[in-house]
Amino acid sequence: MLARPATPAARIIPGLDMADPAAAAAMARLLAPHIGVLKVGLELFGAGGPPAMRGVAEYAPVFLDLKLHDIPNTVASAVKALLPIRPAMLTIHAAGGPAMIAAAREAAERAGDARPIILAVTVLTSIDAATLAGSGVSGGTVQQVLRLARLALDAGADGLVCSPLEVARIRDAHGALPFLVVPGVRPHGSAAGDQSRIATPAEAVAAGADWIVVGRPITRAADPVAAAQAIAAELA
């Protein structure tokens, strides 16, 4: 299983959110010496499937962000099907419930010491309190994240995906053990895009993030390597 990052650069996960597997592999090769993990999400996996992920994994461990969410048997079967491509991290939705989370963890353990870290997604960083309320969830984003965090960790998730704004509260409640992967990270001067709950890299790590996910501010920068190096320097 992937170890916690030991250097500032190792905390950085660029999101390869593109539909061109060749371009993603080229970006992976360019960035690999300057980051820790590379994210393959729905767009790239949908465009190229396992071969696209393998093309990225040649250069760095892969955070496979598919956010699996289905009945327990289906999610367990999906995890088993993904093990041969050896993702270092794999996401499921905490809202799938304890049985689904436990089934995903059990399926992942078939890979032994090489199993992926199972990360439960709490509340997407594009969602704010008003959006939650519109779907019938009361109490705001922080309370919903904390509810789902406890549910997921009690059911066997190794860690969580949450916004930077909930990291400190999760650390207070659950200590240092859970892995925390944090999207919604934007360097100073970067556009928020479709993110609602954001912070800078240094703020996210100071709150207790293990890894930070940074997509467009790195991959769409005029100089992606310089952008990644600047974030590492900020964290140092």
Digit-coded pLDDT (tens) for 213-235: 999 999 999 999 999 999 999 99
pLDDT of residue 198: 77
pLDDT for residue 188: 75
Q: Measured between alpha carbons, how far is 79 from 199 in angstroms, rounded to an integer?
A: 31
Q: Does domain 9-235 have CATH number 2.60.40.420?
A: no
Asked if 39 is an active-site residue, the reply is no
Q: What is the pLDDT of residues 5-62, one digit of tens each?
A: 999 999 999 999 999 999 999 999 999 999 999 999 999 999 999 999 999 999 999 9
In the chain, where the domains are located: 9-235
* Per-residue pLDDT, 193: 57
Catalytic residue among 67, 150, 169, 171, which?
67
- The 10s digit of each residue's pLDDT in 135-183 is 999 899 999 999 999 999 999 999 999 999 999 999 999 999 999 999 9
The CA distance from 62 to 150, in Å, is 26
For 159, phi then psi, to 5°, come to: -170, -170
Provide the whole-model pTM: 0.95
